[in-house]
Structures are given as structure tokens and as C-alpha cells.
Structure 1
């Protein structure tokens, strides 16, 4: 399921269905072992499980338990996720401008991190219709600077964390502790750019020291040991965009010297030599600025979708063909991310 990075929506939550009548009998088959019931339920979609909470008190307790939620999430996360096939069309799609109320700042295990115009931060699970407004981080915005966010999951401490970067100040929110605290700033790594990409317990940002945005590098932050590190890029220092392809950190590089776009993927993050080039696209961009802060994805058929303003490129590596989807009406880049339906609560269950 895809979520647009910028979308409209004020009502993040609706009333949950009332609890079942306490006198309702348990219709579960008493001859069926509990292990079998758990195995069956853990493979069902979230919307079905929300209904089954009303079957009995025991099923409500089971489906709401942290152990079951983790088991269900594990099965959901292991399903391969692709974009739907994009059917060929000669039509240009003109889309209506929307009044955007929230910025999408990441999605992990069914939780979405949102920031509104007032800079309030929310964690939201749209599937179970629950959200939480985070406490004030007390970091004042800097002139001519904007806040950069990252959202991820610390598996070691079983904790969801939000990182807020504002030039020379960095704070991290812990859902388990429901509090913010200051952490060290990245040193000599340049300015973090755009929303962090979460991969295997770490957040990754494209960074630049150059005001002209011509010298780029990659910086990571480990949510467990809270250490900033520089990730060696495969080559050069040209403009790059971070992404995640098949659960691996990926980069898209726009050469300053050519019109080529290169796509690389890495699997051994401490080894620069493990960067592997997936393909090169020869495409002329009207303006270099259009390439900044964009995203890219693979479709189920292996097509490569590059999303940037005002066009979206569809590249097929099988025959090196390039298509274009026109979304001219938007004043902002249409950025998307994957979302996994889950039962994870946006607040601590401790």
C-alpha cells in the first residue's frame, strides 16, 4: 500500500467500535488448540482482526497482546511489497491542488510519522485508527533553516524513535519513554537533507557541505548505539537521492557532467566495495533542481519509477525504454512511501 508524503487530512482518528457484551459466549471451538487459533489469526488482515476482537474477551486479549502484534507484524513484513503494475497510457493526468495539512516523515511497521504546519508531530496507525501527539521537543526553529526528521524502530530496545535535526541541535523521541532528549550532532558531515530513510535499525540521510548542492555524501544514525557515521558512497560527489529497494539502502545519482542517472544498491554497509550498480538511465533533465528531494521505486514487473517535479519517469531496464507520467498541476513533488498494515499501537503498552 502506498502513502503520499504530502496529503490532506485533519481527522486522524475516529471512535473505536464499542467493546463486546461481556455476557457474550465464546464461539471459539473448544476442541481447537490455542496454538492453531493463534496461527490462523496471525495470518489474517488487520481489518478482519479488528472485527474478531469482538468475538470474546479471550480473543480481544489475544489480538491486543504485544506478543501477538509482533508475530502478526513479522508475517506481514515478510510479504514482498511492490508497486502495482503501471499500465501504458498516452493520457496526461491533471490532478487537483490540495490543501495540505500534514507532511509525511516516514512509515515503520504500520506507524506513520506526521508533522503539521504548526510543527506538531504525530504517530498514527491509520489501520486501527489510533494516533498520538508527541510532547513538545523544545527546539526553536532557526532562521533560514528547516527541521529534518527521521523515524525508525530500535529492535534491541523494542522502541520506536523520532529524530529531529535542526542545524546545530538534534533531539530524539522515545515512544517507550514518551519523552525527548538531546543527542550529539553529526560532526563535519554537512547538513542533513530531507527525510531520513530507515533500513535495518539505522536512519540514513543525504548530506551536503556545499551551498550550491553539488557535493553530496551519506550520513547514518544508529538508533541503538546512537552513533553518527559516514557511509562511503560508490563514486564521485554528485547529487544523490536515497531510497530503499528490496529492504536495502539504494542511491540514485545525477551526474553533474552528464545527463546520466545511475542507480546503486548496497548490502554490506561497512564495505564500500559492496555497492552494486543496478543500471544507468540516459535522460536529459530540464533543470538540475528538479532532481533534488525525489524518490524512486521498483514495480512488480521490474520497471523503475522515478518521481520528481513535474514529471515521473518510468524506466524499463529490459529494453531500456523510458515513459513519462505528467502530473503538472501539483506545486510540490509527489513523494510516496510504502505502508504495511499492522496492529502496532502509536503509544507505549508498558
Structure 2
């Protein structure tokens, strides 16, 4: 760009650039451009104002092994492989291997919790047997930057993750896996901007006499959702945490045809910006079990009494084999969960019942969807110790 154009005008033009990859390249034009694009103000503005970034499916898996060993610290374990697939009209032909930063490589077979504003959250243990640490690693797979946050290695805790929709600040929530109404167990919240933890009360969820949180989550529109089970009344519910107000929300009850079914196993996921409940069950025909999965979407007509609509039923789907969804609502299936051997990922078409392979083979698949983002661009790969 000509030196005759004032930098203030250049800055206004750059602010109107949408593609993240273009902005990354523009950082090489001049020191002024790099300083502008790397600034927290620019990154926050771009993150909060831009809703049209391309969507990717990030898949993690291993080869030459079976299953996840979440608590293992064996340094001989092979590193997880990662592949990003652009979720567009050419799906699944545009694949690439994202840059995996050193902090991510420290983890031995981590859990992929979720994604928010282009940041993927991983939870796991470091490989070092002598000085083992439990870490949450927040990673931007598009630009290859990550930040690790040490988690005290206490049993029975659940981690939540998300980006505040008002400030674009990364937040980690830590709560007890088992919560009851006898004592008001506090939650803890970590913000990347402060680099510190602070305690806060858990107000609304403490209405149950025995509530068990699962260490899986979904974050949608700045709200974290957890699937819970109430031992006292034998019911599943969904509890939430608002990342902006930092308040826990009312329980979302399951409808009658989902709640209290002993033969069913449940999970939660998301399709675009909608919460979905996965109801796994099994029929036996001629002494042969046939697994099914009902997919229900939660509509937000009312927080406490939402409207559930059944999208479809997928046949021959084992528990935990439906690992995520494309933006068009088609589920991505891990067939190793059903058939018990190394295999590949497939996309299920609900209307026709057909499956299409993605050309990714291995086991222990996990997946999340993310949109391109500049977050963490101005951070170095590091670990914040508690």
C-alpha cells in the first residue's frame, strides 16, 4: 500500500478485512500492520464482530493402538494425530494438518472438551512420569498458538471452557463432579486476562440432594452446558453456566419420553448453535442386540421447559460412536466404537441412511467444530502454573 496513504486510513481498510488467513499474511507487510493486527483491541473487535468465518471439523485420533488412556503418562504413547476438514460444499476433500504447538504435544491422549470462538480446549495429563501435571490446553489450530493452564490433580472435578461473548476473554470453570444441597460447594473460575483463579458460589444447581456432573460439555452462545444425573430422583438434566454474567442457570429437564429411562444412555452435543441430546438405546432381535441413537434438538422457547424436537434415529450406532455433527446436521460416526476394531470415520445421511467415509483411519476418534479466529495471536506458547 502506498506510503502516501495515512496509516489511520490503512488501519480502517485492514479492519474491514474478514478472512483470518489474509490478516495473518498482512502481518508481514510492515511493522505497523503487524502491531495493529496483533493488538488485543483489533483481535477482540475482529472476534466479536465477524460471524462469517469458515467452519472446520477438527479430528483427533491415534493409529496403531486402541482406546483412550486418559490417566496414562507413558512417554512411549504415540502422539495424537490431528486433521482439520473444511466444512463446505467440497467436504471432505479440503483437509490439512494443523500446526501442533509444544504445549499440546505435552499431553498424553487428551480429552477434546469443546471449541469456542476458534479455540479448542484439551484436557489431559503430561507425559512426564516424574513431574506429572494435569493441564487444560487452549489451542487455536488455525494459527498454531496455545496456552496451558495447570489444574490441581484432585479427583472428582469437572472442567468447563468457553470464550466470553462480550470480552473475548478465555474462561475455565472448575466444579466438583458430585454436588449436593447440604453444603454450598464453590466453583472456581480462571480468566486468561488475569492469569488467576477465583472462587464463586454455585447458586442454582444446588437444589438436588445428589447431583453428578459428567466431564463433557457443550458451549453455545456464551453458555456452557453439562449433562448431569440426579441419583435421588433418577433423572438426567442439563445445567448451564453463563460466561458473561458468571452465573449458573436453571436446570433443563428432559421430556417425559427421555427422562428416567433405565435402558438408555445419554450424551449432549451441538448442531451449529443448538443444543442436542443423544439418547442411546438397544433392541434385541433374534438374540442379536441392535444399537440405535435418537437425536433430539433443544429449542429455547423457555429455559426451564424447553421444547424438544426429534431430528432422526440412526441405526447401528454404539454408545459414544456419534462424535459430532457437520453444520448441515449430518453426524460424524466413529465405527470403531460399534465394531470394536480400528476403522475410519464416516458421515451418516439421515434421510437416506447412507454412510460416506472421510478417508481418516485409526481409533480413539474425537471431534469438535471450530471457526477461524485470531484469538491467542498475541500470546506465546506457554503454561500458567497454579
User: TM-score normalised to the size of structure 2?
Assistant: 0.64
Counterpart secondary structure, 1:266 = strand
Which residue of 231, 243, 254 corresponds with 1:233? Answer: 254
In the TM superposition, 1:168-317 aligns within 5 A as 168=178, 170-185=187-202, 186-187=205-206, 188=208, 190-210=211-231, 215-223=235-243, 224-234=245-255, 235-237=257-259, 238-255=264-281, 259-268=291-300, 270=303, 272-281=305-314, 283-284=315-316, 290-292=318-320, 295-298=323-326, 303-307=330-334, 309-311=336-338, 314-317=347-350
Aligned to 1:43: 18
Which residue of 163, 173, 176 corresponds with 1:153? Answer: 163
Distance 1:280 1:80, change over 3 A: farther
Aligned to 1:125: 140
Counterpart secondary structure, 2:238 = strand
Tell me whether 316-325 or 111-120 shows the greater mean CA deviation. Answer: 316-325
Please identify which structure carries the higher strand content: 2
Contact residue 54 and residue 372 of structure 2 kept, 8 A:
no
Q: State the 1:63 CA deviation.
A: 1.0
Q: State the 1:109 CA deviation.
A: 1.6
For structure 1, the residue ranges without an aligned partner over 5 or more in a row are 1-25, 85-92
Q: State the 1:308 CA deviation.
A: 6.3
Q: State the 1:239 CA deviation.
A: 2.2
Distance 1:179 1:49, change over 3 A: same
Aligned to 1:22: none
Aligned to 1:342: 373
Contact residue 310 and residue 328 of structure 1 kept, 8 A:
no
Cα deviation, 1:286-330, whole Å, max 9, x if unaligned, reads xxxx51485231365x64323464245643222234578899953
Aligned to 1:318: 351
Distance 1:276 1:35, change over 3 A: farther
Contact residue 160 and residue 217 of structure 2 kept, 8 A:
yes
Aligned to 2:118: 110
Distance 2:173 2:275 in 1: 19
Distance 1:159 1:94 in 2: 32
Distance 1:171 1:313, change over 3 A: same
User: TM-score normalised to the size of structure 1?
Assistant: 0.70
Contact residue 236 and residue 253 of structure 2 kept, 8 A:
no
Contact residue 236 and residue 254 of structure 2 kept, 8 A:
no
Counterpart secondary structure, 2:23 = helix
Contact residue 220 and residue 228 of structure 1 kept, 8 A:
yes
Distance 1:51 1:67 in 2: 19
For structure 2, the residue ranges without an aligned partner over 5 or more in a row are 66-77, 81-107, 126-132, 179-184, 285-290, 339-344, 381-386
Q: State the 1:243 CA deviation.
A: 0.9
Counterpart secondary structure, 1:318 = coil
Q: State the 1:267 CA deviation.
A: 3.2
Q: State the 1:106 CA deviation.
A: 2.5
Contact residue 204 and residue 220 of structure 1 kept, 8 A:
yes
Report the number of matched residues: 299
Contact residue 94 and residue 326 of structure 1 kept, 8 A:
no
